[in-house]
Amino acid sequence: MTLTPASARRRAALNPEIPAPTTEVITGTPEPVAPQAAKAAPEAPLRYLAEDLGKDHHVYAGASKDASDIVAALPSAEAFEADLTDTDAILGAASQIEELDVLVLAAGVMEHGPLEELTDEKWREMMEVNLFAPVTLTRALLPALRRSSGLIITINSGAGFQGFAENSAYCASKFALRGFTESLQEEEAGKVRVTSLHPGRTDTDMLAGDDGRPKMDAAEVAKAARLAVDAGPDAVVEFLRVRPART
């Protein structure tokens, strides 16, 4: 039987030997607007994050299409289904969550190309998924996170610090996400812990077929996120940057 957070807490109250699990939302990536072109962050990082943090959290798992495999593999989990380009869908899904300890904003899409080839539609898609969706979801879940003195982790990128040729829209969205995260750290200081996590080149479909430079396994991103989770509640890891080891 899978326990919901509320039922688990009731059992813990009746029997203090049963620990009440903390609750966590991990966002995934929606179906791209232009699936033949856009590269979405794959399910691998989401799966590693969910499996690692699912050991001691009830997980709301978001995914691009179907989170049922991830949910089935966890001891206590359910799907978080929302099109991250649809504000009403995000708010509707978030309204079902009353208790929350950790929010991991892991969704992202990337489109390569010189500026003249990146249409307004492609720019809007990357901004919608990489920036506006995290802002909307954070705003909606902030009251629950404040009640629990919880943690927000934004999965950013090295592209949040440095511009790259033929990645103007993606870098712009990640720079903006970093600005949002750092501002939120100041606003919520003493109420909600906020971590900005910046993975380097990771072995995912997003970087498939590139120039062959070193990449790290997606599990390393999950390990970095776990550092931020385990630091609380009296300490906060404000910034993490993890990258492939230099050879």
Using the structure block, give the residue that is written with the tokens 């072109």: 37
- From the list 80, 170, 175, 180, the catalytic residue is 170
pLDDT tens digits, 157-206 = 888 888 989 999 999 999 999 999 999 999 999 999 999 999 877 666 55
Buried b (16+ CB within 10 A) or exposed e, 109-144: bbbbeeeeebeeebbebbbbbbbbbbebbbebbbeb
Say if residue 91 is exposed, middle or buried (CB neighbours under 10 Å; 0-12, 13-18, 19+): middle
Instruction: Tell me what pLDDT residue 12 has.
Output: 27
pLDDT tens digits, 121-153 = 999 999 999 999 999 999 999 999 999 999 999
Sequence-ordered list of residues with C-beta below 8 angstroms from that of 31, at least 6 positions apart, any chain: 40, 64, 65, 83
pTM score: 0.81
Is residue 48 part of the annotated active site? The answer reads no
